Chains A and B, each alone.
Chain A
Amino acid sequence: MTASGRDRAIEDSLLRPVFETGRGVWITVGLLVAVIAYGGYQWLLQLQDGMVIAGMNQPVYWGLYITNYVFFIGISHAGTLISAILRLTDAEWRRPITRAAEAITVFALLMGSSNVLWHLGRPELIYVPLLSPQPLSPLIWDVACISVYLLGSITYLYLPLIPDLAILRDRSPRLRWFYRLLALGWQGTSRQHQLLERAIGVMAVAIIPIAVSVHTVVSWVFAMSLVPMWHSAIFGPYFVVGAIFSGIAALLIAMAILRKTFHLEAFFRPIHFNNLSLLMLTMACLWFYFTFAEHLTVWYGNEPDEIAVLNARLYGPFSTAFWSMITCCFIIPLGILSFKRTRTVIGTVVASCAVVIGMWLERYIIVISSASYPRSETMWDGGVYTPSLVEISLTAAEFAAFVLLFIVFAKLFPLVSIWEIKEGDERDIDAVTDLLELESPGGRAKT
């Protein structure tokens, strides 16, 4: 097949999900919209009646919303970070991954930030921190860093999208005006490519410290307080590691789903899953190292206020969640990913699901267990927090919206970077061979 023929095959494959929508997608969208609508309805109830219908109380002022906030902001890290690092190190196997990763970042940031709306007692005043910020508040640092990161991520998603937008401008049966507008007159000249690559390169370098700063300041919302087991010097790097960890897992799951749903097996190949999962295994070990160090120092130090929290986690009310977290974040990934035999696509996905669950539990435990055992010699034997319907509905709605955003994105833009694949296929014969097999008559039947 000629070069242009290969190019065409690549484009066809990657644009098919944009142009064709199966019934399964519509059903999924319907379900997601229903979940989101119900969450929206619950939120309206919360606006009307107040936080009283949520499950938080004194002393557990922060609940599921903050958990989801940290969780989603965490997930946002893998995307951009992976994409940026892999670009900078010029790793070839990054090519199919980057778009999905960058999209995850933006969507996760949006979903994470939405939690602020659910969490505030007076969400109509959400603009006030922008008008009169108190600069010593870690929450203001969050606002600043996340805003910059969101802008940066959108830019970093958009820039590598431009050449694909041009393809869509030329080939899409609908919304041509939209693509034309966004494509900014891209013609694919070498000069344009040069500018683009440089811009992307700059962003790749810039986005990394921004990303690191984001989850560091998110962790500092906790670490800067005196709450037992929040006030820890390692929270900054601990959260960043956890963010990357959970982000990679989310990315792997997203890749697996996209691969299956949109028949992108040629692009998301075992090597990608293998390499990312090795990265995830590394992060699992790093995460475990930090967790172990954190809990060991607390145990050894024996400071009573902190021991109360520790005991609650180890064998008190939070023990089920805690040991599940250890299992999901460390034991399962270690078990599956350490051995090549189990480090398959399926194995990777299973491990990633465990990690996502485990990391969500980690956020939950950090927020709730410390909040439940305040320093004050109070009359409480520990606060009791039970997530309420509105919090659970909004959590479900967020996850649904996250997925829906992906689907919408997939309907507007190619989920794999077409021009980068084309650029890479000159260097990656295996990928092209598989692709040709796939595109040949009867090839589809083999997968």
Chain B
Amino acid sequence: MKRREFLKSSVVAGTAGVLLDACAPAGSEQIIPLLIPEERFIPGVEEFHAATCFECPGGCGLLARKIDGRLVKIEGNPAHPISKGGSCARGQALPQAMYHPDRLQSPLVREGERGKGRWTEISWDDALERLVTELTPLRTESSGLAFLTGQLRGHRWELVRRFLAAFGGAHHWLHEPFGDHLVRRASELTLGIEAFPTHDVEHANYVLTFGAALVEASRSPVRFGRGFGHLRRGRPGQRGKLVAIGPHLSVTAAHADEWLPARPGTDAALVLGIAHTLIRDELYDKAFVDERTEGFEAFRERVLEAFAPETVSVATGVPTEQIERIAREMAEYGPAIAIAGDAAVTGPNGLATAVAVTHLNALVGAFGREGGIHFDPPPPFAPYPVLDEPFVLREPTPLANVLSDPTIDVKALLVAGTNPLFTLPAASGVSDLFSNIPFIASFGSFPDETSQWADLLLPESTVFERFDDDVPAPGVGKSMASLSGPMFVRPLYDTRAMPDVLLQIGQQLGDDMAVALPWESYEAALQAAWSGLHDSQRGSIVETSANRFWRSALESGGWWDDSTPAQSQFATTSNRYRFDVAPLRAGVGAAPDTSTERPFLLHVYPSLAFGDGRSAHLPFLQELADPMTDTRWGSVVEVSVPAAEEYGIANGDPLLVSSAQGELVARARVMPGLRPEVVAMAVGQGHTSYGRYATDRGANPLALLPPPGPVDGSGVALVGTAVSIRKAPEVLAALPRAAQSLKV
């Protein structure tokens, strides 16, 4: 009885709350901006707080449901342009990250040797003092400090760069294993815009994906999931077509209308084979090519000369008639777009693939039209004050380049948002690099492999306990930014946001740094930047005062502007699309090498549940049956039906997989959707330290890959590793039994 009365009163109170939010659709939840302290919650009254998800690059806007003072449920924010109310398995599991038993609860300082896992709790004051003590002497050493991060989002990125620049000659090292950064590079080469293209899947009719696992991982799964639902059945009387290309039947390919099992590393050749047909049969968008591109002649010549469908068919293993038919369909059933990602844009052929796909899009005139490719106009943030000399904002160095540089000599390392000791193989030398650095501090929230090497742990609060912003890349073709604020008065544990820690020690590292980083808190830094959005007086939030704007943005989860058209101007010097041929010269069409010793090619892909492994600690995700392999709480090695027959492998048999860099053991799963010469494995398991649910579970295929190097774009090469497989019954006892078998 009591609860119902409370609920009744909450409805009355809540109705008033609804008026504050201009963006929620009719009948949706009541979004309450004011925070009620946890101990004074009204039982049974729910609140929804806008938040942003940072588990994958997608950047969905979420609504976090808080009831009885606790976070119990995540929903997609219906108003947010990326998620539009949808969410994914990883986002849905976030409450478990908040209340995880292995979450770091306070700053910790190492006891005993590195890697032994013994820590002592210290206060933040002591931790910051230690940090300042370690870093202050390095301000005079030009190669003293390095900050290793993942692809940080929103203003974090800029804050870190400012910090490092103001520090004086500090390095910014970047390691984002599945960053698809060669796609950005391809855009830069061809369009002059170094950014992820936004694919307007919602208005397209024909979508090709070269390797990009769009619906399960890759760049924006929720948005693509929504887009493909719409492509299929969202337009009455119209059903679009999705074609997936790759050696492995991913979840995306399984859902697609057609799967082209191209040999690993040959995607670029396949793209150009399709281009060949378009050019040869004059099916390409002549108007666009003539008026808005340059360098077409050289491109045309190269394609016609070297990439006839017959030739390409031999290289890729895809039948000639299929290549030609796809090309014709692209031309006939437009708007058509092509997307590249994941394994296809890594390794020696990665850049070629990304560039070839961009050219393919140009051939069908995809740039700037509905159902095509756009670039998001940047949101009009108020820029931070320009840094005076000698402070220079530097672009980061890929960690792969650092590892192959013998002159690196760094005395202190900060780590945030990346876990290279899991995502890089031992052969990369990353543990040697870490061993040689005298002081390492990590901002990770969980005791992962990289944090185990640190001397000081400065655990970050979860996204529900801190301020953060994000500009999703790719977005949806409009100017937008997400905003996320804390939904609790106090963090659950004694944790802080990383940008806040930087600002706090910045004050103590010197007056000049304090000038470069003048904000009291990251919230203030964000407010300063977001005041620019308020000043523009356009978009989803228009308010009279910056404070009200800020409050509204926090309530809504961000700001977006439909009025600014998507950027479709090219930024090349000629203002035309550039048919750059140079990247297409080397290594196109040749599949990676195998030997008799190692006759298989390993295909490594981010898993739906764990991404690059960062979500493996959540029990809901561990218990999720993988959509393709039906595995729970473990990992499997996928082998093709012919390979299984040849080696006498049945589902569940333990297999030893070895490459030149290492070996692993996992149970076999015989999959029909796999090229005969390919062995596939999902990333995410095989942690040696990541909480009780993920540690010592499954195997990590990234350990088998060659170390990334500058030659191949410095990303982790997910394709091209030669491996051998052997049945390994001697390790049967050590492996958990395979989950229920796949009905083949």
Interface SS, B side: loop
Near A by CB (< 8 A), chain B positions 624-658 give: 625, 630
> Taking the complex as formed, is B123 at the interface, i.e. its CB lies under 8 A from any CB of chain A?
no
Question: Which residue of B630, B740, B742 has the most chain A CB atoms within 10 A of its CB atom?
Answer: B740
Q: What residues of A have a CB within 8 angstroms of the CB of B740 in the complex?
A: 379-381, 384
**CA A368 to CA B685, docked complex, whole Å:** 35
> Taking the complex as formed, is B741 at the interface, i.e. its CB lies under 8 A from any CB of chain A?
yes
**CA A36 to CA B743, docked complex, whole Å:** 42
Closest beta carbon of chain B to A381's beta carbon, Å: 5
Near B by CB (< 8 A), chain A positions 373-396 give: 379-381, 384
Closest beta carbon of chain B to A371's beta carbon, Å: 15
Interface SS, A side: loop
- Contact of B625 (CB < 8 Å), options: A379, A381, A384: A379
**CA A381 to CA B652, docked complex, whole Å:** 13
**CA A384 to CA B651, docked complex, whole Å:** 15
**CA A381 to CA B630, docked complex, whole Å:** 12
Near A by CB (< 8 A), chain B positions 604-630 give: 625, 630
Q: What residues of A have a CB within 8 angstroms of the CB of B742 in the complex?
A: 379, 381
**CA A381 to CA B669, docked complex, whole Å:** 14
Shortest Cβ distance from B630 into A: residue: A379
Shortest Cβ distance from B741 into A: residue: A381
Near A by CB (< 8 A), chain B positions 331-389 give: none
Q: What residues of A have a CB within 8 angstroms of the CB of B741 in the complex?
A: 380-381
Shortest Cβ distance from A58 into B: residue: B740
Shortest Cβ distance from A378 into B: residue: B743
Q: What residues of A have a CB within 8 angstroms of the CB of B743 in the complex?
A: 379-381
**CA A380 to CA B743, docked complex, whole Å:** 7
Near B by CB (< 8 A), chain A positions 333-386 give: 379-381, 384
**CA A444 to CA B39, docked complex, whole Å:** 89
**CA A381 to CA B744, docked complex, whole Å:** 9
**CA A381 to CA B742, docked complex, whole Å:** 7
Q: What residues of A have a CB within 8 angstroms of the CB of B625 in the complex?
A: 379
Q: What 1/0 flags go to B711-744 for Cβ under 8 Å of A?
A: 0000000000000000000000000000011110
Closest beta carbon of chain B to A374's beta carbon, Å: 13
**CA A384 to CA B630, docked complex, whole Å:** 16
**CA A380 to CA B630, docked complex, whole Å:** 10
Q: What 1/0 flags go to A87-115 for Cβ under 8 Å of B?
A: 00000000000000000000000000000
Q: What residues of B have a CB within 8 angstroms of the CB of A379 in the complex?
A: 625, 630, 740, 742-743
**CA A384 to CA B740, docked complex, whole Å:** 9
Shortest Cβ distance from B651 into A: residue: A381
Closest beta carbon of chain B to A385's beta carbon, Å: 13
Shortest Cβ distance from B625 into A: residue: A379
Closest beta carbon of chain A to B442's beta carbon, Å: 39
**CA A421 to CA B11, docked complex, whole Å:** 85
Q: What residues of B have a CB within 8 angstroms of the CB of A380 in the complex?
A: 740-741, 743
Shortest Cβ distance from B744 into A: residue: A381
Q: What residues of B have a CB within 8 angstroms of the CB of A381 in the complex?
A: 740-743
**CA A384 to CA B741, docked complex, whole Å:** 11
**CA A126 to CA B188, docked complex, whole Å:** 73
Shortest Cβ distance from B740 into A: residue: A380
Closest beta carbon of chain A to B542's beta carbon, Å: 51
Near A by CB (< 8 A), chain B positions 480-523 give: none
Q: What residues of A have a CB within 8 angstroms of the CB of B630 in the complex?
A: 379
Closest beta carbon of chain A to B742's beta carbon, Å: 7
Closest beta carbon of chain A to B743's beta carbon, Å: 6
Closest beta carbon of chain A to B544's beta carbon, Å: 57
**CA A379 to CA B630, docked complex, whole Å:** 8
Shortest Cβ distance from A380 into B: residue: B740
**CA A329 to CA B625, docked complex, whole Å:** 42
Closest beta carbon of chain A to B308's beta carbon, Å: 43
**CA A380 to CA B625, docked complex, whole Å:** 12
**CA A293 to CA B628, docked complex, whole Å:** 41
**CA A381 to CA B741, docked complex, whole Å:** 6
Shortest Cβ distance from A57 into B: residue: B740
**CA A384 to CA B742, docked complex, whole Å:** 14
Shortest Cβ distance from A383 into B: residue: B740
Shortest Cβ distance from B739 into A: residue: A379
**CA A246 to CA B444, docked complex, whole Å:** 67
Closest beta carbon of chain B to A182's beta carbon, Å: 56
**CA A384 to CA B652, docked complex, whole Å:** 14
**CA A379 to CA B625, docked complex, whole Å:** 10
Shortest Cβ distance from B742 into A: residue: A379
**CA A131 to CA B268, docked complex, whole Å:** 73
Closest beta carbon of chain B to A1's beta carbon, Å: 71
Q: What residues of B have a CB within 8 angstroms of the CB of A384 in the complex?
A: 740
Closest beta carbon of chain B to A317's beta carbon, Å: 12
Closest beta carbon of chain B to A367's beta carbon, Å: 20
Closest beta carbon of chain B to A23's beta carbon, Å: 46
Shortest Cβ distance from A381 into B: residue: B741
**CA A380 to CA B740, docked complex, whole Å:** 6
**CA A373 to CA B643, docked complex, whole Å:** 29
Question: Which residue of B625, B630, B742, B743 has the most chain A CB atoms within 10 A of its CB atom?
Answer: B743
Closest beta carbon of chain B to A334's beta carbon, Å: 39
Closest beta carbon of chain B to A339's beta carbon, Å: 46
**CA A365 to CA B623, docked complex, whole Å:** 31
**CA A379 to CA B741, docked complex, whole Å:** 8
**CA A381 to CA B740, docked complex, whole Å:** 7
Closest beta carbon of chain A to B741's beta carbon, Å: 5
**CA A380 to CA B741, docked complex, whole Å:** 6
Shortest Cβ distance from A377 into B: residue: B743
**CA A379 to CA B740, docked complex, whole Å:** 8
Closest beta carbon of chain B to A304's beta carbon, Å: 13
Closest beta carbon of chain A to B322's beta carbon, Å: 30
Q: What 1/0 flags go to A282-318 for Cβ under 8 Å of B?
A: 0000000000000000000000000000000000000
**CA A375 to CA B625, docked complex, whole Å:** 21
**CA A361 to CA B630, docked complex, whole Å:** 32
Closest beta carbon of chain B to A377's beta carbon, Å: 9
Closest beta carbon of chain B to A55's beta carbon, Å: 14
Closest beta carbon of chain A to B293's beta carbon, Å: 49
Closest beta carbon of chain A to B641's beta carbon, Å: 16
Near A by CB (< 8 A), chain B positions 543-572 give: none
Closest beta carbon of chain A to B668's beta carbon, Å: 15
**CA A380 to CA B742, docked complex, whole Å:** 7
Closest beta carbon of chain A to B394's beta carbon, Å: 51
**CA A67 to CA B23, docked complex, whole Å:** 61
**CA A381 to CA B625, docked complex, whole Å:** 15
Shortest Cβ distance from B737 into A: residue: A384
Closest beta carbon of chain B to A389's beta carbon, Å: 18
Closest beta carbon of chain A to B736's beta carbon, Å: 14
Q: What 1/0 flags go to B418-452 for Cβ under 8 Å of A?
A: 00000000000000000000000000000000000
**CA A88 to CA B742, docked complex, whole Å:** 59
**CA A255 to CA B338, docked complex, whole Å:** 82
Closest beta carbon of chain B to A368's beta carbon, Å: 16
Closest beta carbon of chain B to A113's beta carbon, Å: 34
Near B by CB (< 8 A), chain A positions 18-75 give: none
**CA A381 to CA B739, docked complex, whole Å:** 11
Closest beta carbon of chain B to A176's beta carbon, Å: 62
**CA A384 to CA B625, docked complex, whole Å:** 17
**CA A153 to CA B609, docked complex, whole Å:** 60
**CA A414 to CA B599, docked complex, whole Å:** 79
**CA A160 to CA B56, docked complex, whole Å:** 80
Closest beta carbon of chain B to A373's beta carbon, Å: 12
13 contacts between A and B (CB under 8 A): A379-B625, A379-B630, A379-B740, A379-B742, A379-B743, A380-B740, A380-B741, A380-B743, A381-B740, A381-B741, A381-B742, A381-B743, A384-B740
Given A379-B740, A380-B740, A380-B741, 10 extra CB contacts under 8 A: A379-B625, A379-B630, A379-B742, A379-B743, A380-B743, A381-B740, A381-B741, A381-B742, A381-B743, A384-B740
Closest 9 CB pairs of A and B: A381-B741, A380-B740, A381-B743, A379-B630, A379-B743, A379-B740, A381-B740, A379-B742, A380-B743
